[in-house]
Amino acid sequence: MSKKKVLVGLSGGVDSSVSALLLKEQGYEVHALFMKNWDDDDGSPYCSAKEDFMDAVFISEQLNIPLEQVSFSKEYKENVFTYFLEELEAGRTPNPDILCNKEIKFKEFYKYAMRYEYDYIATGHYVQTDNISLYKGIDSSKDQSYFLHAIDKEVLAHTLFPLGKLEKDEVREIARDNKLITSEKKDSTGICFIGERPFPEFISNYLAGEEGNIINEQNDVIGRHAGLVFYTLGQRQGLGIGGVKGASDLPWYVAKKDLQTNELTCVQGNNHPLLFSQELTTRNQFLLVDSLPQKFEGTAKVRYRQKDQECEIHILDNRLNIKFASPQRSVTPGQSVVIYKDNKCLGGGEINTIN
C-alpha cells in the first residue's frame, strides 16, 4: 500500500517544523509548502519573510523533504486585506488572522494540495480533530481553535494537526532532541502583515484618519483623536488624554466610536460600566457541526486569550445571539465570538451589535 501524501504548511517556525517531523515519523510521504502572502515588505525591518523562508529551506533539508514556495499574495490582498481596510473604515475592528486562515491557509492552500493530489494538508496549529469535528488543543495556553472556527468542514476532514495532543514545551523539546534549527526560534506575534510595527504607523499608509474630538460620558471635549480607524474599544494606550479638569488619576479607556459625529468616547477606570456588555449578535454564522439546538447552554470567548465564558447561545438564521452569564469587557464589533460545548469548537461569527 502506498503511503498517504501530506502537504505541510512550513512557515519557518518551530511548530510547523515539528509537525513535519512527526508526520514523517508516522509514515506519511511528507512534502512542504512555504506560503508567501504579503509582497510589500521585502525591505522592511518588521518583515521576517526572507528569514522564515530560509529557515523553512534548512528544515526541509534537515528532514529530507521536498519544499515549494507559492505566493498567495494576490488572493490575500483581494480576500483578506481589502476586507480588513473596509471594516476599519466602517468603524469595526476586524481580525485578519481568522480571515487569513479561512481564505488562505485553509482554502487556497487546500485547493493547491488537492490540485496536486495530496491526501491531506497539515499545519502546526494547536488544535485537535477527528476529521469531523474541531477540538481544543491539549495545551490550553496555546489552543488556537479560536482562529480556526470559520474554516470549511470539507477542509477540516482533510487536515492533520500533529501538535494537538502536545504541550508547547514538549514541542520545543522534540525540536531540540532532533537538533532542528528552529528549536529556540521565537514565536511570531501580531497581525500577520503588520508584525511588530506600531498599528497606526502601518494603517496610515492605507487610510487617512479624520481628526475629531475625544469626549467623556458627559459629552465634554477632553482631547483630540487622530482618526477613528486607529482606535478600538477598550484601548488604553495612545489616547493622549491628560490634565482633564476635575478628573481623577485613573487611566482612560475607549468606550465608544461614533462614525456619525466622528467622536471617540473615553471613560476612566478599567471597570467602568460603559466598557461592559452582556449580550451580542453576530452579522454572520460559521458552524462546524451539522445541527444544533436553537437555544442551548455553552461557553464562548470574544478574544483569543480569554477564558471560556458561560452563556446562552441562540442559533438564528445566519447569525448568532449570545447572552453571557456575566458582563463582558470590551466586546468589539468586527471581532469574532467563538462558541464551544465542553472541549468542542462549534463555530462562531463576527460581532455586529452589543448590549
Catalytic residue (one of 100, 266, 311, 345):
100
Helices in 178-307 by DSSP H: which ranges? 199-203
* Rounded distance between C-alpha atoms, residue 311 and residue 245, angstroms: 40
For residue 199, give every residue at least 6 positions away whose Cβ sits within 8 Å of its Cβ, in sequence order, or none.
Answer: 191, 230
C-alpha angle 242-245-248 in degrees, rounded to nearest 5: 70
User: Which residue from 291, 232, 230 is spatially nearest to 256, judged by alpha carbons?
Assistant: 232
Q: Is 100 a catalytic residue?
A: yes
* Rounded distance between C-alpha atoms, residue 49 and residue 113, angstroms: 22
Helices in 182-264 by DSSP H: which ranges? 199-203
Backbone angles phi, psi at 199, to 5 degrees: -60, -50
Cα–Cα distance list, 250 to 43, 244, 272, 326, 336 (Å) = 41, 11, 11, 24, 29
- For helices 14-25 and 49-63, the axis angle rounded to 10 degrees is 20
User: 266 by DSSP, 3-state: which?
Assistant: strand
Query: Quick one: DSSP state of residue 101?
Result: I
Torsion 251-333-135-309 (CA) sign? positive
The three cell numbers of residue 90 are 466602517
* Rounded distance between C-alpha atoms, residue 355 and residue 50, angstroms: 45
* Rounded distance between C-alpha atoms, residue 167 and residue 165, angstroms: 7
Q: Is 192 a catalytic residue?
A: yes
* Rounded distance between C-alpha atoms, residue 297 and residue 173, angstroms: 39
User: Could you list the active site residues?
Assistant: 100, 192
